[in-house]
Amino acid sequence: MRSLHAGKKDGRGLPLMSTLNTFMFQDASTAFFLASSIKKTLESGKYPGSNPGTTGSFVDGNPTASFEIIGTSVYGGSGTSSVQWFGFDSKMVNENFGFQYIESMPLEISDLREDFVGNLDLIMTATLYCQFGAADLRGWYYSTGA
């Protein structure tokens, strides 16, 4: 994913100044466990030999830096499958880059009241005005795992 991301260019044809350092996977999925294994291997200072599959040996030195892993919850539906994954540059998560949440009215909670007409339910309402969107997502990368 990092080598593919390195090939991305900005609007002027210049390379992006971002490095994918955080990856998101569906929690407890096949991709999550594989990424955890790769992370531990990189952190131990090892990586597969130049002829993978022939000897299965590991040599010293990392070809790439380690990374952070975020497991997304399956509860409620995260919108991802067990083989999909996302990568992003955590330094590019701010008001100019990445996904945006803009709150125009803070959360207002009404007073608790009792419904005397029905079955004596307790009723409370909450109101929040906000919008979700994205600014510049060039620091993000996504794969279907295929």
- Phi-psi domain of 3 (left: phi exceeds 0; alpha: psi -120 through 50; beta: other): alpha
The confidence score (pLDDT) of residue 133 equals 79
Q: How far apart are CA 16 and CA 23, in angstroms?
A: 18
> What type of residue sits at position 64?
T
Q: Residue 71's closest CA among 85, 51, 61?
A: 85
Q: Which two tokens stand for residue 39?
A: 């992370």
Average pLDDT by stretches of 10, the chain with 146 residues: 79 82 88 88 72 57 80 67 82 80 86 83 88 79 73
Check residue 41 and report its DSSP letter. H
Q: How far apart are CA 46 and CA 59, in angstroms?
A: 6
The confidence score (pLDDT) of residue 142 equals 81
The confidence score (pLDDT) of residue 10 equals 78
Distance of CA 77 to the CA centre of its chain: 15
Check residue 91 and report its DSSP letter. G
The confidence score (pLDDT) of residue 69 equals 93
Q: Are 2 and 64 in contact (CB under 8 A)?
A: yes
The confidence score (pLDDT) of residue 116 equals 80
Determine the 3-state secondary structure of 113 from DSSP. Answer: strand
Map out the domains of the chain as residue ranges: 2-93+137-143
Q: Which two tokens stand for residue 45?
A: 């200072």
The confidence score (pLDDT) of residue 22 equals 92
The confidence score (pLDDT) of residue 119 equals 80
pTM for the structure as a whole: 0.63
Tell me how far CA of residue 83 lies from CA of 25, 35, 101, 142, 145, in angstroms. Answer: 8, 11, 27, 11, 5
